[in-house]
Structure 1
Amino acid sequence: MMNKYTQGPYGLPLTQGWRRQDGSFAIELAFVLFGLCAIFMFGTDLSKQLLIRASLDRTSFSLVNVLKERTRYYDGEVSSETNLIVTASNLSDMQTVGARLLDMSSDDVAIQIQSMVDGTVTTLHSDQFDQYGCVTDDFSDYSDLVPEDDGTVYPLYRVSLCEQFDSWFLAFLGDDDTNTILSSSIIVGR
């Protein structure tokens, strides 16, 4: 006959095997809490990564739109190919404006600007761009995007921005906790 002290869950008899499971709840709870923390860290990192990427996308698009306006801001002329190539002064200006848009110091902006004029690619980048190890694909691969109208070949411009952030998820798993995010925008000059 079973009494309340010999009866296990669901009315099953309490056996020696059942009594040996004292503490299994604590172990299972530890695994569940570890899993929940990992999911929380992953979600936090993912949202942070998306916010940084969106900020870099907006900024690179804004900067490349300023850079493309060669006739308006840089006394450029497409038909005579005057002042179409990016310069160190352009890089400095873009770095300053980028710092304002990204709300950071001008020295912390990792930026690369490129121009393709008549098939010749000119690339300028900040020191921070090299320090972060940012790598972009070959700009000359985009030569098919260059429009041509009545013998006039238009220039092509690209602005690439790079930012690093510390990943809670990777640190939680014991990996290198630094991620690098890169955003590029390409546009035809005028």
Structure 2
Amino acid sequence: MNAPNLKSKQRGTFSIEFAIVGVFFSLLLAFSGDVIIKLSVKGKLDRLSYSLVNIVKERTQLYDADYQLTAKEVNDLDTLAKRSLQRTFGAFETDKYGLLVEELSFKEVGKPNPVIAENRGGVTCEVAQSITDLEHLTVVSNRGREMPLYRVTMCYETSNWIGDLLGKKFTNVMSDSVVIGR
């Protein structure tokens, strides 16, 4: 009796294994590329939101000691943010950008004014916690005044490489910065 021909029985297994490994490797590359893009955008938004919230904090110096955040000031921040992102991003699109500026100030210690929250841009930034939930971060100055709290949230819609492959939507990159005012 002749021994079975093993070579002929293994025909095509290399092609099947290569196809499986190729699909896995392609998914891995798409996932890595998507993560790298999102981390890059997140870093840019982190730096800019931190800078903008510090501008808001210094508003008493920049806007004649006025403690109430106005729509004009938010428009100025929006313009500054867009111009900065246009210089930083390769292809910045204003309809994929969103800005939320919030202020929690106080009439007197323990008695907050109504929260001021202004949205700008083509995307609405959704925050998990309202600024009133962060009231415990405020401090009372040596003059007996409770210091205001400011938050700048920025969001940007990115490409959806891995989400398209998996049938999910992973596009919104968000960054927020909180600071105690003067």
TM-score range with shorter-chain normalisation?
0.7 to 0.9
1:112 to partner: Cα distance: 0.5
1:106 to partner: Cα distance: 5.7
Which one of the candidate residues 91, 100, 119 is aligned to 2:83? 100
Which one of the candidate residues 37, 45, 56 is aligned to 1:48? 37
Structure 1 gap segments, 5+ residues each:
1-5, 7-13, 77-82
Q: Deviations over 1:66-117 (max 9, x none)?
A: 11112211112xxxxxx21221111111110001211146665310000010
More displaced stretch, 145-154 vs 159-168: 145-154
Which one of the candidate residues 41, 45, 69 is aligned to 2:58? 69
**5 Å matches for 1:154-173?**
154-173=147-166
1:184 aligns with 2:167: no
Which one of the candidate residues 4, 11, 18 is aligned to 1:15? 4
4+ aligned runs moved over 4 Å, structure 1: 105-108
Identity, % of aligned positions = 29
1:129 to partner: Cα distance: 3.1
1:135 aligns with 2:126: yes
Indicate if the aligned counterparts of 2:97 and 2:157 stay in contact, CA closer than 8 A: no
Q: Give the residue type in structure 1 aligned to 2:156.
A: E
Hey, what's the Cα distance between the residues in 1 that align with 2:84 and 2:33?
A: 23
Q: Deviations over 1:113-161 (max 9, x none)?
A: 000101231111115232xxx3112110111111102311111111000
Sort the Cα spacing of 1:139 and 1:45 in 2 relative to 1 into closer, same or farther, 3 A.
Answer: same
Structure 2 gap segments, 5+ residues each:
87-91, 107-111
Sort the Cα spacing of 1:180 and 1:105 in 2 relative to 1 into closer, same or farther, 3 A.
Answer: closer
Q: Give the residue type in structure 2 aligned to 1:163.
A: Y
Hey, what's the Cα distance between the residues in 1 that align with 2:18 and 2:94?
A: 48
Give the structure with higher Rg (CA): 1
Indicate if the aligned counterparts of 2:96 and 2:157 stay in contact, CA closer than 8 A: no
User: How many aligned positions are there?
Assistant: 169
Residue equivalent to 2:69: 86
TM-score using structure 2 length: 0.84
TM-align CA RMSD: 2.1
Residue equivalent to 1:10: none
Residue equivalent to 2:116: 122
Sort the Cα spacing of 1:139 and 1:167 in 2 relative to 1 into closer, same or farther, 3 A.
Answer: same
